[in-house]
Amino acid sequence: MSAIFVTATGTDIGKTFVTCGLIRALQARGRKVAALKPIMSGFDQAAISDAGLLLSALGRPVAAETIAQLSPWRFGAPLSPDMAAAREDRAIDFAAVVDFCRDAIATRDGALLIEGVGGVMAPLDARHTVLDWVAALDIPLVLVAGSYLGTISHTLTALEVLRRRGLDVACLVISESASSPAPLDETRDAIARFTSGLDVVALPRLADPACDHPAFDRIAEQV
Ligand SMILES: Nc1ncnc2c1ncn2[C@@H]1O[C@H](COP(=O)(O)OP(=O)(O)OP(=O)(O)O)[C@@H](O)[C@H]1O
Ligand SMILES: [Mg+2]
């Protein structure tokens, strides 16, 4: 069973939304699923967090203890992980993050979805970005992009960086942005013209990731 890393072209693009939809699609296929969000910034115990959303999608209780299991590195400031950690006089131990994920990958019982943090090159410390993290894990990834004006260049840039590092992009998901002047399908087709051989899935704006949308099944086929 697979382990998949979910990254994006930037923050607030749809990684958690897609991961929750994917969890539900895999569960509907009778698959066992676990998920991690190892690093969270902008974390507020009193608010709904990414780890809380993943736990809900998994059908697990949302509590301080379960959130800490999914997400050991939590920081309050809504900043990039390196900056958020520095605000608390802490630093992210890159090797410890990699070890934590490797352990989870090695002991998984079913599919394991690991949500990254921010975009493909969000810094974790002074020397490592998300790209180094996913390269160290050497697992396939799902890249989530938006459909806002400008996304084509951001997406192709991210794909080029991932390709140069020899990483395996299993699927590209264009998750419709809140306000996109360009139609979703036209944006999808424009990106697909430059990414031959890559499965590019258009995910429309949905009321809820619990919606049973065929795009989630398409992504699930890659996991
Ligand atoms: N296809 C979609 N339909 C409806 N809402 C969406 C869709 N994609 C993303 N969203 C919404 O956009 C917002 C940002 O998405 P999300 O939280 O999944 O981004 P993220 O990439 O996980 O962000 P972060 O970097 O903070 O982890 C959320 O409110 C989410 O519900
Ligand atoms: Mg998220």
Q: Is 215 a member of any domain?
A: yes
Q: Is 77 a member of any domain?
A: no
Q: Give 211 Cα–ligand 1 centroid separation in angstroms.
A: 14
Residue 32 Cα distances to 23, 64, 170, angstroms: 9, 23, 19
Residue 211 is predicted with a pLDDT of 75
Q: Is 38 a member of any domain?
A: no
Residue 59 Cα distances to 23, 24, 64, 146, angstroms: 10, 9, 16, 27
Residue 14 is predicted with a pLDDT of 97
Q: Is 50 a member of any domain?
A: no
Q: Is 42 in contact with 84 (CB distance < 8 Å)? A: yes
Q: Is 65 a member of any domain?
A: no
Q: Give 80 Cα–ligand 1 centroid separation in angstroms.
A: 17
Report strand pairing: 73-74 vs 3-8. Answer: unpaired
Provide the residue type at 113 as one letter. L
The count of C-alpha atoms lying within 13 angstroms of the C-alpha of 102, restricted to the half-sphere facing its C-beta, is 11
Q: Is 152 a member of any domain?
A: yes
Q: Is 85 a member of any domain?
A: no
- Looking at every residue in the chain, the average pLDDT score rounds to 96
Tell me the C-alpha distance between 143 and 103, whole Å: 23
Number of domains in the chain: 1
Does pLDDT of 114 surpass 60? yes
Residue 207 is predicted with a pLDDT of 85
Note the ligand closest to the C-alpha atom of 18.
1
Question: Which residues line the pocket of ligand 1, CB cutoff 6 A?
Answer: 8, 11-17, 50, 118, 175-176, 203, 205-206
Q: Is 72 in contact with 130 (CB distance < 8 Å)? A: no
Q: What is the pTM of this model?
A: 0.97
Tell me the C-alpha distance between 120 and 107, whole Å: 26
Q: Is 46 a member of any domain?
A: no
Q: Which two tokens stand for residue 131?
A: 């790209």
Residue 155 is predicted with a pLDDT of 98
If one residue of 7, 11, 16 were mutated to test the ligand 1 pocket, choosing by the most ligand atoms within 8 A of its CB, it would be 16
**CA dihedral of 17, 20, 24, 25, whole degrees rounded to 10:** 50
Residue 180 is predicted with a pLDDT of 86
Q: Give 14 Cα–ligand 2 centroid separation in angstroms.
A: 7
Q: How much of the chain exceeds pLDDT 70, in percent?
A: 99
Q: Give 134 Cα–ligand 1 centroid separation in angstroms.
A: 21
Residue 1 Cα distances to 59, 106, 110, 195, 218, angstroms: 20, 11, 5, 26, 17
**Any idea which residues carry the catalytic annotation?**
37
If one residue of 5, 12, 71 were mutated to test the ligand 1 pocket, choosing by the most ligand atoms within 8 A of its CB, it would be 12
62 pLDDT band, cuts 50/70/90, is very high
pLDDT digits (tens, 9 = 90+) for 129-172: 999 999 999 999 999 999 999 999 999 999 999 999 999 999 99
Nearest residue (CA) to ligand 1, atom 10: 14
Owning domain of residue 168: 3-32+96-220
The CATH number for 139's domain is 3.40.50.300
Nearest residue (CA) to ligand 1, atom 26: 12
